[in-house]
Structure formats: C-alpha cells, structure tokens
Amino acid sequence: MPNYNAVTPEIIAQLEKVAPGHVVVGADVNPDYSRDEMPIYGTRMPEVSIDVQSTEEVAGIMKICYENNIPVTTRGAGTGLAGGCTPICGGVVICTMRMNKILSYDLENFAVTVQPGVLLQQLADDALTHGCMYPPDPGEKMATLGGNVSTNAGGMRAVKYGCTRDYVRALTVVLPTGEITHFGSTVSKTSSGYSMTNLMVGSEGTLGVITEMTLKLIPAPKATISLMAPFEDLDACISTVPKVFMNHFKPQALEFFEKEILISSEEYLGKQVFPRQIEGTDVGAYLLMTFDGDSDDELDPIVERAAEMLLEEGALDVLVADTAPKLKDTWAARSSFLEGIEEQTKLLDECDVVVPVNKIADYVRFVNATGDQFDFTVKYFGHAGDGNLHIYTCSNDMAEDEFRKQVDAFMSAIYKKAVELGGQISGEHGIGMGKVKYLAEAVGPVNMQLMQGIKKVFDPKMILNPGKVCCTL
Ligand SMILES: Cc1cc2nc3c(=O)[nH]c(=O)nc-3n(C[C@H](O)[C@H](O)[C@H](O)COP(=O)(O)OP(=O)(O)OC[C@H]3O[C@@H](n4cnc5c(N)ncnc54)[C@H](O)[C@@H]3O)c2cc1C
C-alpha cells in the first residue's frame, strides 16, 4: 500500500478553513460512507468526511490532501455495485450529495448543466417539464448523476439510446492536485485532440472529482407501450432476442428474466404483475420490451408486428401495457430484481458481464452448468437487447470464507468464457475494487500498463481513490 499520512488535527483545521462547518471527523462520520452496495468487496471507515458544496471547496480540499499525501475517495449516493466509492485506504471521503442543483437549461442546444449530486430521478422528472428526456435509465434512480457519469451507467434504455457516455457534453473537474479544469463543451461534435471528457466518463473517481456536468437531452417521446412475452423456457426466450433486431425493431428497452427472480421481486413489492401460467402451461421466462414514438398511431402497427413475431418465436402470449399505471407496475417489478434478491440473501456477489447479443443463450447455458458445481445459488437477469447480464451468487448458509473462495472460482470461469465469446468484464457497473483482478486477466498487461500510465499522469501521488479500476494496493 502507498505510504499515506494520517489526517492530523492540523490538517483538520486546514480542511475546516476551506469547508467551514462541513468537516466530520472520526466516530461522527456516517458509517454508510465506509462502503457502497457491495460490502462483500471490503469496507473501511474514512478518518474524515466532507459533504462538499462547491467546486472551489473541492479544489481546496484536494490541494490540502495532495500536499499532505492523504487518500481521498469521492462518493455520490453510494449505490455502486463494485466497491468504487469505498475508502479502502481511509483518509477523506468527499460526498457530493449536497451539490444537487440543476443549474441551467440550454433548450436551443438540448443541454442541461447540473451539479454532480443531482439524482437521476430529479433530472428525469425536471427535464420532462421542459418537454425533454434524459435517456440514460439505470435501475437505481436515487444514484447521483456524478456517480452515473463516473461509472458510465447504462440501464434499460441503453439498447436504443446508448449509455451515460453518449449524453456527456462537458465536465468541470478538480484534479488530484487541486487544479480546476474543464473538458468538452456544449457542441455536438468534436475532433479536437484526445477526448478528455470520454476519459473521465467511467473512470470511477480515479482521475478527478467531477463538480459540474453539461448533459445532452432529447425531445421526450410522446407515446410509450410495453409488451410482455411469457415463454415456456429460457432458451426459447433468449433465442428470440437477435430476431428482434433482424426484424428491424428498435425497442427502447429489451429485458429478459426467469420466473424465480420475478417472484422474489413481486414478493418484495407485494404485488403480482406478470402471469405465471398461460392456459395450463407454466411460464419459465419472460421478454419485456418497450417501444416509444411520437404517437400511439405510430406505435400501434409496430406493436402488432412485434406481437406476431413473438408468437411465431414461441411466446405463450403477448400482453400489452399501454396505460400509465400498467407501465408503472410492469417496470417497478423489473426494476426491483436486485432489492428482491438482497432481501432474501445474506451473502451476495455479482457479475455484470456483457457478451454479444447472439451469444447470450450459449453464455447462459455455460453459467448454469458452471453454477451447478458450487454450493451457492446462481440467479440472473439481463438487458437482453445489449447482451449485459447481471449474475448473482447467493447464499444464506455458507461460511463467508468458503463463499468467497467458491465465488472466485466461479467468477474466474464465467469471466473467461465471456471474454472468449467476445465479451467484456463490466457492461455498466464498473470495476471498482471488486473486479480489478478479472479486468487484468481479460485485457492483459499491455492495456493495464496503459491505464496505470494514464492514472499516474492525472494523479502522480496516487491519492485519489486508490486500489480501484487498474491499480491494486
Ligand atoms: C438497485 C440497484 C439497481 C442498479 N441498477 C443499475 C443499472 O441498471 N445500471 C447501472 O449502470 N447501474 C446500476 N446500479 C449501480 C449504481 O446505481 C450505479 O453504478 C450508479 O452510477 C452509482 O451512482 P452513485 O451516485 O451511487 O455513485 P457511488 O456509488 O457513490 O460511486 C460510484 C463511483 O463513482 C465515483 N464518483 C461518484 N461521484 C463522483 C464525482 N462527482 N466525481 C468523480 N467520481 C465520482 C465514486 O468514486 C465511485 O468510484 C444499480 C444499483 C442498485 C443498488
């Protein structure tokens, strides 16, 4: 581990000067700041936490920590699933949740400028009042936009609209030295040197602290319809996915899941939305897709054609959600899978692998066969439209050491298979500290050294979010 200094009373006094009233020390620090949603990767309390209020405050804090060689970890809402905001070396946690203002709209250029602690749901709702949509739609709506940009969050609509990266126009960033810099601008295209904006997106708080963001918006679609297609088994369900694209459909969302995971989510919500039997046949798996457009008249023929295709591919039925309450219930059930699993599970780890769409069925078969060799239960669901699968290892009765050992063997095998099929380690949750080893195995030493070189240019003393993405301690 790099040789960091402890936060002394003198340093606390300096921090108090740049962030008066916001410096919290020792036992008063909120215990949540020791972790994100995946404590299995490790937890540690920081010595100090500061709920920052401005770019200048962040710059002042970074300057002090840089001069004194103190590790700093940036935290948004702490909903990450890779241990990204866990302050594994202690030091200072900067939390952005109070920098939560939507600063301005530029409706002529379809852009909005926000502070990093604005929540995804806050922007989604506010943008609609201006007739606009912010398309990225990750499952956790209470995550901050700073966290979304830093993890390049994906979500349900990525299949049509892309991920957070595609909506980041400009950033204000505080570098580990405390310097303030700006990357990108409101323009919609650029060929102006290396894309520093893109480098920041998905860098998981290892290169700088994002303190302001200009994000792209689009005109809000006026009509949305979802189709639920129950299938007898998972194989038939997943095999249908490439056909959706081959038939030139452009769904806004395309998700698959098995019945077991749906039941945990419906139990968590206390409401059954999806049918479990169709005319005496047990449903094994479901495809859920949404189409959006300018009017119901535009969508009706698309929906009709999609329903015909689904039935031809073996769907037991096709159910339509075309009213606001039906859409809300349908997507609430889909959005609560993780909460449903968490509620029923003591020990949990996850893999957020992404494979080519036409390889999903092969990959799921491999995951099932591999999972059978271990003592934990494997549960999964996926953004079928973009090949991004969330695979969970769950146990209520294994000893933690044994769980970790078996999970490591399982994860190594399934990551290796994903890479063989042309996939990648993380589709949207990031690497954090939980997946550094698997990333290194997947991309090899040359790429790891390139990433470590970039890290050193931004952060020569390696004080910002140590032990994450491409660096181990
Ligand atoms: C129920 C549930 C569902 C989820 N569904 C999805 C999903 O569908 N798609 C998806 O992509 N993710 C999903 N996630 C994961 C999580 O919500 C995202 O990773 C989200 O982007 C994290 O945002 P956050 O504000 O919680 O960030 P945190 O967890 O606080 O931090 C995440 C990373 O970003 C860095 N960071 C945060 N803010 C800044 C900043 N201002 N400057 C620099 N670095 C910063 C941190 O250091 C850390 O490395 C889900 C999580 C849960 C619990």
The class that CATH gives domain 9-97 is alpha beta
Q: What is the token pair recorded at 142?
A: 């209470």
Given pLDDT bands bounded at 50, 70 and 90, which one contains residue 98?
A: very high
Probe residue for ligand 1, chosen from 79, 86, 463 as the CB with the greatest number of ligand atoms within 8 Å: 79
The pLDDT assigned to 1 comes to 67
Mean pLDDT of 443-457: 97
Least Cα distance to 67 among 458, 453, 457, 460 occurs for 460
Tokens of 65: 């920590």
Architecture of the domain whose range is 102-219: 2-Layer Sandwich (3.30)
Ligand 1 atom nearest residue 427's Cα: 11
143 Cβ closer than 6 Å to some ligand 1 atom: yes
Please tell me the predicted confidence (pLDDT) of residue 24. 98
Q: Which atom of ligand 1 is nearest the CA belonging to 338?
A: 1
Q: Which two tokens stand for residue 358?
A: 């036409």
What pLDDT is attached to residue 92? 98
What is the predicted pLDDT for the residue at 260? Answer: 87
Question: Which parts of 270-384 fold into alpha helices (H)?
Answer: 296-312, 324-335, 337-344, 360-371
Q: Is residue 96 within 6 Å of ligand 1 at its C-beta?
A: yes
How many whole angstroms separate alpha carbon 250 and alpha carbon 302? 10
pLDDT, tens digit, 9 for 90 and up, residues 240-298: 999 999 999 999 999 999 988 898 889 889 888 899 999 999 999 999 999 999 999 99
CA 221 to chain centre: 24
**What's the average model confidence in pLDDT over 113-140?**
97
> How remote is the CA of residue 76 from the centroid of ligand 1, in Å?
7
Which is it for strands 72-75 and 92-95: parallel, antiparallel or unpaired? parallel
Q: Torsions phi, psi of 306, nearest 5?
A: -65, -40
Q: What is the pLDDT of residue 188?
A: 87
Residue range 65-94: average pLDDT?
A: 98
Note the pLDDT tens digit of each residue in 204-240: 999 999 999 999 999 999 999 999 999 999 889 999 9
Task: Convert the pLDDT of each residue in 379-417 to its tens digit.
Answer: 999 898 899 999 999 999 999 999 999 999 999 999 999
Average of pLDDT values for 434-438? Answer: 95
Pocket perturbation via mutation, ligand 1, pick of 73, 74, 469 by most ligand atoms within 8 A of CB:
74
Is ligand 1 within 6 A of the CB of residue 427?
Answer: no
Q: Which residue lies with its CA nearest to atom 18 of ligand 1? A: 80
Topology agreement, domain 102-219 and domain 223-335 = no
Which pLDDT score, from 0 to 100, does residue 388 have?
94
Question: 414-429: per-residue pLDDT in tens?
Answer: 999 999 999 999 999 9
Neighbours of 365 (CB within 10 A): 13
Query: Does the Cβ of 204 fall within 6 Å of ligand 1?
Result: yes
Angle in degrees, CA 186, 151, 194, rounded to 5: 50
Query: Token pair for residue 41?
Result: 């990767």
Give the residue extent of every domain in the chain.
9-97, 102-219, 223-335, 345-431
pLDDT at 324 exceeding the cut of 90 = no
| C-alpha 227 to ligand 1 mean position (Å) | 29
% pLDDT > 90, the chain: 86
Which DSSP letter does residue 292 get? Answer: E
CA of 194 to the centre of ligand 1 (A): 25
Is 146's C-beta closer than 6 angstroms to any atom of ligand 1?
A: yes
Nearest protein Cα to ligand 1, atom 28 = 78
Query: In which region does residue 152 sit, left (phi positive, over 0), alpha (psi from -120 to 50) or beta (all else)?
Result: left
Q: Average pLDDT of the chain?
A: 95
What is the CA(36)–ligand 1 centre distance, in A? 9
What share of the chain in percent tops pLDDT 70?
Answer: 100
| Fold adopted by 345-431 | Alpha-Beta Plaits (3.30.70)
- What does the alpha-carbon distance between residue 425 and residue 411 come to, in Å, rounded to a whole number? 10
pLDDT at 328: 87
Residues contacting residue 250 through CB under 8 Å, at least 6 positions apart: 160, 291
Pairing mode of beta strands 218-219, 285-293? unpaired
Distance of CA 433 to the CA centre of its chain: 15
Give domain 223-335's CATH architecture. Answer: 2-Layer Sandwich (3.30)
Distance 77 CA to ligand 1 centre (A): 7
Q: How confident is the model at residue 15 (pLDDT cuts 50, 70, 90)?
A: very high
Give me the mean pLDDT over the 357-368 stretch.
92
> Range with the lowest mean pLDDT among 56-60, 229-233, 336-340?
336-340
* Distance in Å, CA 218 to ligand 1 centroid: 23
